[in-house]
Amino acid sequence: MKIGISTSCLYPMYTEQSFELIAKNGVGLTEIFFNANCELEPSFINQLSEIKAEYGITVSSIHPTMSLAESFMLFSNYDRRFYEGLEIYKRYGEIAAQLGARYVIMHGGKPNGTMDDYGYFDRFAKVAEVVSRNGTTLLQENVVFFRAGNIDTLRNMSDYLGDSVNFCLDVKQSLRGGYSPYDVLRLLGSKIKHLHLSDNNSQNDCMLPLTGDFDFKDFLTTAKECGYTGDAVIELYRNAFTEPQELFDSHKKLVEKVF
């Protein structure tokens, strides 16, 4: 297992700048979080590819910028928007393939009155199929206040879609949702393909690794015991640290502690 840093940790630094800063600091793995539609242009992806080649960094996953629009684009009852959304996700699948990323991570839709959970699951499967055409896999993330932000929905989604659904487990999001990330590991097992790591204590659920009470070594050991074979990235909000060097120091200490 490799442990990296998501570019989202450095938001609102421009995506290419955060990617290069992570690579320059010797972090060998990253997740690229896109933040504007112009970043889907071929010239921009070529720029990212050049940074990737220069530093030899691995891109584990990419995260679309349309997270807040997915309810409207993909999970409403207006078919034209859905098919437009499919084209956007098709593009993200192409981008992931170009950057060598295995996964595209989706927040998904929020609960609404136009579609029940099973309609949501069916739509997710259609988006996953489009992404898979480029050899990449769509992952549902457990984001609080979104449809898949609670453990019961994760269970139902897994049961309904079977082997055609896979997940990204975010530690802080599970805590915000009121359930243990360990319970998700045991529930979903090898269907979890990617991990978002952060620390926490009784007062704060989003902290730099090794500044709180979370036992990373135990958690990652349990993940492997439950069938997890992927990598992990630190994913934090920018207010979790003051200077970027704190993030890189935390990453280095975490890698040393776990391995």
The domains found in the chain, sorted by start residue, are 3-243 (3.20.20.150)
CA of residue 200 relative to chain centroid, distance = 19
Is the confidence at residue 240, as pLDDT, over 90? yes
What is the torsion angle, in degrees rounded to the nearest 10, for the CA atoms of residue 109, residue 85, residue 65 and residue 177?
10
221 conformational bin, left if phi > 0, alpha if psi -120 to 50, beta if neither: alpha
The answer to whether 69 and 84 are in contact (CB under 8 A) is no
**Which positions ≥6 away from 141 have C-beta within 8 Å?**
105, 106, 107, 108, 148, 167, 168, 169, 170, 173, 196
pLDDT, tens digit (0-9, with 9 covering 90-100), for 88-137: 999 999 999 999 999 999 999 998 878 999 999 999 999 999 999 999 99
Q: Quick one: tokens of 82?
A: 């859905």
- Dist. CA 94–CA 207, nearest whole Å: 33
Nearest to 164 by CA among 186, 131, 142, 134: 131
What confidence category does residue 160 fall into, taking pLDDT thresholds of 50, 70 and 90? very high
Q: What's the confidence (pLDDT) of residue 24?
A: 98
Cα 77 to the center of its chain, rounded Å = 26
Task: Locate all alpha helices (DSSP H) within the chain, ordered by sequence.
Answer: 15-24, 42-55, 70-73, 79-99, 117-132, 151-161, 171-176, 181-188, 216-225, 244-258
Cα–Cα distance for residue pair 250/214, rounded to 1 Å: 14
Q: For the segment 181-214, what is each residue's pLDDT rounded down to a tens digit?
A: 999 999 999 999 999 999 999 999 999 999 999 9
In single-letter form, the type of residue at position 153 comes to T
Bridge partners of residue 207, in order along the sequence: 199
pLDDT at 167 over 90: yes
Give the closest residue to 45 by CA, choosing from 92, 106, 10, 103.
92
- Provide the percentage of residues in the chain whose pLDDT is more than 70: 100
CA distance 110 to 73: 12
The tokens 């549902």 sit on which residue? 140
**To 10 degrees, what angle do helices 151-161 and 117-132 make?**
60
33 pLDDT exceeds 90? yes
Name the percent of the chain lying above pLDDT 90.
Answer: 95
